Amino acid sequence: MQRVVVITGARAGVGRATAEAFAREGASVGLIARDRQSLDEACREIQRLGVRCKAVSADVADAEAIERAATDIEEALGPIDVWVNTAMATIFGPVDDISADEFRRATEVTYLGYVHGTMAALRRMKPRRRGTIVQVGSALAYRAIPLQSAYCGAKFAIRGFTDSLRCELRHDGSPVHITMVQLPAVNTPQFDWARNKMPSRPQPVPPIFQPEVAARAIVFAAGARRREVWVGRSTVSAILANTLAPGLLDRFLGATGYKSQQTDEPASVGASDNLYKPVVGNYGAHGRFDDRAESRSLFLELSINKWPLLLAATLSALAASTVLRSRRRLRG
């Protein structure tokens, strides 16, 4: 039977790459985002792959709008089997330069948007006793970095919310599965349209991966019933190194985290951003870092192919190496 998959934040970036990846697997795809024009274009591309698609314009910060979107998608495509939360909005800049209203808006989209999507999915999946919810997370859900306090705070909150819900599903004996995919830096349009209060243009902290790597992990997670899927060596090293030496990473990121997130180009004065309304234009999955982005993750392939002993040894060695390198750089 053809699966029905819903993806929030589907107009561009990881959401768009994920929609195409599920479509190539033969799934019917429901797309949710704010910009109607971009959604329609994404839907047309998916339909060219020979599957059904339903696009619904909605802001994930509006719980009632997401509930209506879920109803519209089920009326068009059938019962939802997989719900993927990936919509986000953020601000690059120091805490002192971000207003309370900007924090509120970023939190409503990036955290409460996941809550709203999860609630809409649960209302449909729990009575049917089937379904999977995929929360697209980040290494920053475990290890926060400077200049991204709003985003990091939201990702930490998503992880806490998801862990709590896991316990409740187990208590209820529900077979509905919820999983998180923790991503590394990804080459998406986020770095072109996010609100920026830094002096230079933002960039993902290398190593950078293409959105198709993230999409492969999300499609895998939707069927694997894993608790979490970690993608990329940087995600693995950040999570494990933070477990071993969080104070050292505080010092290391305080020394390096500002420069590593900015290019040499000055920030564009008066540039449009997507915090309160979508940026006009048909953005695809990729950002402007194609020449620096990797199209494959060895650690993801190890995880997918279930090489647990080799993976565990590699992760331990990587974490130890990261801590040692951080110490050397701080001493230097």
A 10 A CB-CB count for 41 gives 17
CB-based burial, 207-234: b 16+ in 10 Å, e otherwise: ebbbbbbbbbbbbbbbebeeebbbbbbb
Question: How much helix, strand and coil, in percent to the nearest 5, is found in the chain?
Answer: 55, 15, 30
Name the catalytic one among 114, 151, 258, 283. 151
SS3 33: strand
In DSSP notation, 217-281 reads: HHHHHHHH--SEEE-SHHHHHHHHHHHH-HHHHHHHHHHHTTGGGEEEEEPPTT---SSSSPPSS
Pairing type for strands 91-92 and 262-266 reads unpaired
A 10 A CB-CB count for 282 gives 12
Write the DSSP symbol of residue 137.
E
A 10 A CB-CB count for 266 gives 11
The answer to whether residues 77 and 124 touch, using CB atoms and an 8 Å cutoff, is no
* Cβ neighbourhood burial of 167 (10 Å; 0-12, 13-18, 19+): exposed
Residue 10: what residue type? A
The answer to whether residues 7 and 29 touch, using CB atoms and an 8 Å cutoff, is yes
Examine the residue annotation and report whether 151 is marked as an active-site residue of this protein. yes
List active site positions.
151
